[in-house]
Structure 1
Amino acid sequence: MGEGNINRCKKKEKCETTLYPRMTWKRPLEFLMNIVGYTIGLGNIWRFQYLCYKNGGGAFLIPYFLVAALCGIPLFFQEIAIGQFTKQSCLNAWNIVPAMKGIAYSQLIIAWYFLSYLAVVMAWITFYLVNSFTTEALPWSTCDNEWNTDMCLSIAHLENHNTSIAIENVTMNVTSPTNEFWANHVLRRTDGIHDMGSFTNWRMMLCFLFSWFVSYLCVLKGIRTTGKVAYVTVTAPYIMILILLIRGATLDGAASGVWYFITPQLERLADASVWLDAGGQVLFTLGVCFAVLCGLGSYNEYHTDCYKYSVICVCICCGTSIFIGLVIFCFLGHMAHVHGKDISEVAESGPGLVFEVFPAGLTLLPLPQVWSIIFFVALFFVAIDTSFGTIEGCVAICEDISPRWYARMGPRLFRMIVCLIPFLLGIPMLFDGGIYVFELFNMYGNSGICILFVAFCEAAALAWIYGVERFFDDVKSMIGYYPNVYFRYCYKYFVPAITLLIFSVYCVTYSPVKIGDYTYPEWANAIGWILMLLVIGPIPLFFLMTLKKEHGTLTERWNRAIESRIKRQEIPINSEEATQLKEEKV
């Protein structure tokens, strides 16, 4: 086990050196595989693709890559570098600016929100996967099931007659079997959040328990487990999705789908919503502000080149979005060809793209059961990667909050307790009206306003309080050289300006949450704002509490509240001590 030596000031002017045991990755490749597995998630599969064709196809890619370069890479590198420098989770890592430690609590809440509904998505994936193991027609391709209505028209009938009825929509009083399987059998959706219904879908509860069981197994022994699991869970989805890409490229209409995906409508760049969607998607996809990257970085050896790995990981993440986009748009192009509809009318936002449109596309292939199993196995691997990465970040924070409880309970029981909170939050989402709770957490707790506000606070604290030059000196002490000069301008100007601008526009253009034609009532939106304030609140609250604890004038209190309590390790990279640290493995 590696050990991180840091100097910490626990009381105002009194400093002491603390030997804080910290596991380290056995090799840098394990670190890279874990951060790649964490960043490659469902956002790459359905959210990115929908926003892309919603905002003009290739035109969306321009602001997406621009924001990724100016905000995504710097923020991603910042969180990993701070974790590696301090050898702490993001809670104690923010001792570099003690008054801003509220950022860690905000990130922990965001992570718990995310885990609560990610496990539900994994349960849906498991449910579809189990139903794919059949020798008969896939249950979402026919209309002779107990959950189907008289208005259902099978996909086989649609393809044979080449009708113009869209797969996921209701047209001429006709519904598709994929839509009815999703709404009536998987969700058993009620009329609104005011009617939560009852807990009748025990099969979904079993899938939910299975998802959490697998997630817990992956983090059972900390990075000893996750480091090895990532070799399988990261590489397997790429292999399976590559198979689907090869098959999808041979379908009729696939070329038109790809062309729609890569052709920019440049006039759309004048639309502010394109830039808003691109900025929000970059932060969501890269997983910044989720308490994970700092924790994963803390398991690095002190001289690991986190700068190089950060750039590589962001490039892989953005490239994967394009790669998966080619797969999905091949199938969307084929579905549009079969049903005589425009591609923009075939898919819809949110989980509908995966759980309605893609299953419908798979039924149009030879041996659809095989392709369905391949797809949902790959999807489960993608989700589990993100899940255990996020859990590990939460465990790292909770371990620093309550080290005594961690020592008493041991790592296995402690991890189970940390998982219990998002597990309980996810149970209401399994009720018949659970999809409305799911969307409430998704729209208020994990995207847009919350993430952008925390990202702005992160960037501002580093650039304007701790100091970019000081941060660069810290980085040089770890990797032996300074990052590119453009990072200085990003931290000082671009990141704070862009995140604050997008955050402000989100607030100004706010509208109540909708699912299809259903608009949430005011009381439900009020609950959503409470969820959001629970994320935003800790930052100003902890800042004011820190100022209050100090003594003296306001200026003296301010200076003490922002004074770093972490001191740099002055260990030359090629020194004997650095060599010894590198040899201490898990």
Structure 2
Amino acid sequence: MENKSESRITWRNKFEFYFNVFGYTIGLGNIWRFTYLCFKNGGGAFLIPYTIVALFCGIPLIFMEVALGQLSRRGCIAAWNSVVPMMRGVGYSSVAMSGYFLIYIALTMSWCLIYFVRSFTLSTLPWATCDNDWNTVDCVLVGESNINENISYANTTANEQNVSRINKDHLSTLEFWNGYVLRRSTGIDDLGNFTNWPVFGCFIASWIICYLCIVRGIRTSGNVAYFTVLAPYVLMIALLIKGVTLEGASDGILYFITPDVSRLKDSEVWLDAASQVIFSLALCFGPLIGFGSYNKPNFDCYRCAYIFVGACCASSLAFGFTVFSFLGHMATILSLDIKDMVEGGPGLVFEVLPTEFALLPFGQIWSAIFFLALLGLAIDGSYATIEGCTTALADYLPEYFEGKRSHYWRAVFCFVLMLVGLLQLFDGGIYIFELINRYGASGICILWVAIFEAITIGWIYGIDRFFDDVTKMIGYRPPIFIRHCIKYVTPTFCMAIFIASCVKYSPLKMGNYIYPWWADMIGWLLSASVVSCVPIIAIKVLFSSEGTLRQKWKSCITPIRMQGVEDDCDEKQDTATIA
């Protein structure tokens, strides 16, 4: 395999690499997605399929991506090109998904930032009052004695897992979310006005923060990671300690972990577990390959895979304890059932938990701590993804993204994505946010890339050849079960989830709002822009090669460092045949 110039920089120490990967793989999804899925799929019983999938799918994929970057010394596009030129499109798909992810995660950061800023008040939290400009006449104060008479419940459809939720038209915390933060319009066909200046300011600030974290590449991000990774953990531990001391916390935690073993018979539980492992580890987006390319050649990229997956799983579980301890207290104070308050996605952290903070003494402090922790998690995932993209671009445009002037082009990269993301700041921006989240950077796109990553290494490049390369690099051969996972188990798991996702597809909806057909078509175009990279690049590389069809194919699947050698062998074979 062709190595890049020896001048390529490396991490100052292995801890910079560890902390950057920790920050990238442990994010908001560990709080709002894992917690909900664990509750939905049998509590503690969900940990069984989750652990199995993490072992047989998560560890092999994360090891494969880090090892590929370390072997090739390249970003995600050039790395795939170096092993199988025909599959360079896998790298382009990763960069496309990263772009979509960055567009909407910046908005999530701005939400965290505005909640954090508004927590600094000596009076009542702004979402715990009903005398604001955004409140309606039907507003219900959090903690009112008649709250149960004013809150109505609406059973969601089967597509939303039949979870009861608080009616968004009344509770003051939800009016703050919808009326002040989002200023939500009636639908995606009604974008409304661009007048949400508080969120606009936080949105710009979020991009500036991300840029400052990667202004000098890994020399900056390597140092920043120590703070942005450790700080959220310290803050979440403080919240956990506070949470478990609250009245009703034990009920919430028991509700979270009590196993319902009968749920293991349901195939949907296993599909949710597999998808959560892939999503929470942020596989297939490219940064892991980029981070691996900055490792020293003899770094043990196999054993670290266990550390990364273990840390991600343990963090998800710890965050779940924290969230459900607060939900248990909230249910006790409001005399509600916990199941009526649990929901996945942003609603958990921007609708439900702010209600709990409004009920606590010194709720301003706990709210500020929580949203600062969320902001730290979002920053980690954002700047790591930007670094992965710029690393991939630097392989092909070194004059722009390497050297003394690289910070200018990094700024241009961030600025372009920021401009695209401004569409989300209109009153109907939340609908664009959900559209990009559903179609552009999750679901079938990630699974599609994961399938071709495993097939490329396991079958086209050759798993034995890949293990030979890894053995030369780390000094020992990884166990055979990892070999079988990459070649058989991982692509099978990913393909099964991919097919199930396609079969169970339903048009996008948000709450009771159903997206119009043309919005779903736009969403599918976003997905197509990711998925089509693989076949389009493969066809382009195939037909741009010289020789017969057989020679073209052989050239397209031959690693770059081997092409000259194999061409000489072919010429000698042809000469011998003629003679």
Q: What is the TM-score of this pair, normalised by structure 1?
A: 0.91
Q: Distance in 1 between matches of 2:401 and 2:332?
A: 57
Q: Which residue of 2 aligns with 1:576?
A: none
Paired residues, number? 552
Which of 290, 299, 304 aligns to 1:309? It is 304
SS in 1 for 2:313: helix
Aligned to 2:570: none
**Aligned residue in 2 for 1:241:** 236
1:520 to 507, 515, 522: 515
C-alpha distance after superposition, 1:438-495 (max 9, x if no partner)? 0001111111100001000000110011111111111111111111221011011100
Matches within 5 A, 1:479-490: 479-490=474-485
Structure 1 residue 141 corresponds to structure 2 residue 128: yes
Residue of structure 2 equivalent to 1:3: none
Aligned mate of 1:77, from 63, 71, 93: 63
CA distance in 1, matches of 2:465, 2:98: 29
CA–CA distance in structure 2, aligned partners of residues 332 and 472 of structure 1: 47
Cα deviation for residue 174 of structure 1 reads: 6.3
Written as runs of structure 1 = structure 2, the 5 A alignment for 1:52-451 is: 52-94=38-80, 95-158=82-145, 165=151, 169-170=165-166, 175-406=170-401, 410-451=405-446
Q: Partner letter of residue 480 of structure 1? A: G
- Code of the residue aligned with 1:253 in structure 2: it is G
Q: Post-superposition shift, 1:409?
A: 7.9
Unpaired segments ≥5 residues, structure 2: 154-163, 564-579
The one-letter code of the counterpart of 2:414 is C
SS at match of 2:127: coil
Aligned residue type for 1:179: L
Structure-2 residue corresponding to 1:545: 540
Question: Closer, same or farther in 2 for the Cα pair 1:38/1:558, shift >3 Å?
Answer: same
Whole-angstrom CA distance in 2 between matches of 1:262 and 1:370: 28
Match of 2:468 among 454, 469, 473: 473
Aligned partner of residue 528 in structure 1, secondary structure: helix
SS in 1 for 2:370: helix
| C-alpha distance after superposition, 1:233-263 (max 9, x if no partner) | 1111111101111110011211111111111
* Residue ranges of structure 1 left out of the alignment (5+ in a row): 1-5, 9-17, 569-586
| Counterpart for residue 573 of structure 1 | none
What SS does the aligned partner of 1:19 have? coil
Residue 408 of structure 1 and its aligned partner are, at CA, apart by 8.3
**C-alpha separation in 2, matches of 1:550 and 1:398:** 23
Displacement after TM superposition at 1:90 (Å): 1.2
Instruction: Please tell me whether residue 533 in structure 1 is matched to residue 528 in structure 2.
Output: yes
Change (3 A) 1:407 1:316: closer
- Residue 297 of structure 1 and its aligned partner are, at CA, apart by 0.5
Per-residue CA deviation, residues 359-411 of structure 1 (Å, 9 max, x unaligned), is 11112221011111111111111111111111100000111132233358821
3-state secondary structure, aligned to 1:7: coil
TM-score, normalization: structure 2? 0.92
In the aligned structure 2, how far is the partner of 1:67 from the partner of 1:164? 43
Structure 2: distance between partners of 1:284 and 1:477: 31
Contact 1:166–1:345 at 8 Å: present in 2 too? no
Are the aligned partners of 1:163 and 1:340 in contact in 2 as well (CA < 8 Å)? Answer: no
Give the conservation status (yes or no) of the 8 Å contact 1:111–1:394: yes
RMSD value, Cα: 1.8
- State how far apart, in whole Å, the 1-side matches of 2:248 and 2:402 are: 59
Contact 1:165 1:339 in 2 (8 A): no
Conserved? CA contact 1:166–1:346, under 8 Å: no
- The 3 A distance-change label for structure 1 pair 174 and 380 is closer
CA contact (8 A) 1:398 1:418 kept: no
Amino acid at match of 2:65: E
Rate the CA distance shift 1:421–1:58 in 2: closer, same or farther, 3 A: farther
The CA distance in 2 between the partners of 1:40 and 1:362, in whole Å, is 24
- Give how far 1:111 is off: 0.3
2:490 to 495, 499, 507: 495
